[in-house]
Each structure stands twice: as C-alpha cells, then as structure tokens.
Amino acid sequence: MSATARLKRLMPTDIRALKGQAPVVVLTAYTTPVAKLADADCDVLLVGDSLGMVLHGLPSTLGVTMDMMILHGQAVMRGSNHALVVIDMPFGSYEESPAQAFRNAARIMAETGAGAVKLEGGVHMAETIAFLVARGIPVMAHIGLTPQAVNTLGGYKVQGKGDDAARLRADANAVAEAGAFSVVLEKVPAGLAGEISRELTIPTIGIGAGVDCDGQVLVIDDMLGLFAEFKPKFVKRYAELGKTAVQAVADYAAEVRARSFPAAEHSFFDEAGK
C-alpha cells in the first residue's frame, strides 16, 4: 500500500466526528477478498472474533486466539485502504489487567497496522479502556450482549430489559468517559438504545439495537446470505449468495460427471490441435 493510500484511511477520530453528522457504516471482514469488496462503502471494517464461528467452525468465540485475530487482521489490512480497521481482542487477552490488555493490544496493532481494537465490557472494563487510550491505543467498546460472556449471561439474550436498563446506561457512560471512540450496542431494546445514543457524545453502533443508533454493524456473511440456515432476527438479507453457490457447485459436479466440462474453450491444444 502506498503512502498516499494510507493517508486516505479513516481514523478513530474521523469515526467519532461522524456523531450527529452521518450514520456510521460497519461490516465485518475476515479476508483480503472480502475487505476489497466492502472497503469503499464502509467506514469501519471490523475483524470480529465471530470469525471463529463463521470461518473456523467453532461453537462460540471463546476458542479464538491472538494469532487468529492477527492473521485475519493482516489479511483485511492488505485488502483495504479506506475504512478504519478495528480488530477484536479475543477472550482471555485483556480481562486480567490493564497491563495485560496493553501488551496484547499493542501486539495486535504493531503486527497488523490496524487503527483500533475492540473489547467487550462496560463499567468493569472502564479502567482498562482508559489505560489503553492514555497509551495511544484507540478502543471501540462493546456492551449489551457480549458474546465472550455468553456463559454468564445465560445465552444470547436481549440485554437491558426492565430494571436491567440502568446497568446498560451505566456501562455506556462508563466506556464513553473512559475514552472509547465508539461503542457497539448488541441486542438492546430499540428505545433504550436510542436514548443511550442521544445521551452519549460518542457514536453508538447497533446490532439488533434499532434504527436510532449512530451506526450499524452486521456480519457480512449473514447479510450476504452465505449460510441460509442461520438468520438472527436483526439480520436483513441483502443477497442469497449461499443458494447461488450451492447451485453453482451442483452444476459444476453435474458437468464434470457428464464430461461436458472442461469444454474446448477451457482447454489447451498443441499445434496439431490435440
């Protein structure tokens, strides 16, 4: 990537400045080809630890490692030159202490060139967020449903209902005050998410949190319909590429078995036409 291209890449300060100006467009990306497809239209490409489930077949995000996040982060950086690339810190890489979080966040940024990291947690992670930000590491926070804590939350449930709304508000204010440049709100009632969005001075990025957030994020494989058997309520399918791919594979297999592929136009011949 040229120095000129690097200068065009959005930074965390650019994303924060979108608050009240324009919705923030975020999609996940895990590979170079997908990053190339999404880069021009996105403000942020999130290398989410969801890659453990989407790409590696893991049952949850808990088995994702630092090496996996760095490998995929490097791939996304190679495929993009416009969007801010944010990389998830995997489970176990930041919870122990602010010092542990700094070591691992610094490694992620140094080895990938990404512009920021994302970590899960509200009030209890505010000290860590402040520690990282004070040392030059921009942080995107993540509250509401936090998949790395799915075992303590009792599953992938909507967060912030009823009396639990006060906890979500406290989490949102804590990460903003700690210096996060934006915060993901996952599976939060739309009304509460809208209220939090209006109260905070940083952008909120919703996923299953309604239209009043300052931006939206989806897993790109979900919105492209690559895996038709899995569709959370908050996902809108913008394509059905999975069905197209299944049919393409079936057509290829049929032509190979019928010996109609490869045809002459797909083959090479010598001077005698053989």
Q: Mark the binding-site residues for Mg(2+), compressed into ranges.
A: 49, 88, 120
CA distances from 34 to 119, 157, 211 (A): 23, 29, 25
CA–CA gap between residue 30 and residue 106 (Å, rounded): 20
- Phi then psi for 24, rounded to 5 degrees? -90, 125
Q: Are 94 and 64 in contact (CB under 8 A)?
A: no
- Phi then psi for 183, rounded to 5 degrees? -145, 130
User: Catalytic: which of 95, 96, 111, 186?
Assistant: 186
177 is catalytic: no
Burial class, 45, CB count within 10 angstroms (exposed 0-12 / middle 13-18 / buried 19+): buried
CA–CA gap between residue 203 and residue 196 (Å, rounded): 10
Joined together, the tokens standing for residue 173 give 């204010």
CA–CA gap between residue 32 and residue 87 (Å, rounded): 14
Task: Tell whether the torsion through CA atoms of 115, 126, 155 and 183 is positive or negative.
Answer: negative
CA–CA gap between residue 144 and residue 131 (Å, rounded): 22
Cα Rg, the chain, nearest whole Å: 21
Instruction: Map tokens 């010598």 to a residue.
Output: 270
Residue ranges at the known binding site: 49-50, 88, 118, 120
Residue ranges at the known binding site for 3-methyl-2-oxobutanoate: 49-50, 88, 118
Catalytic (active-site) positions:
186
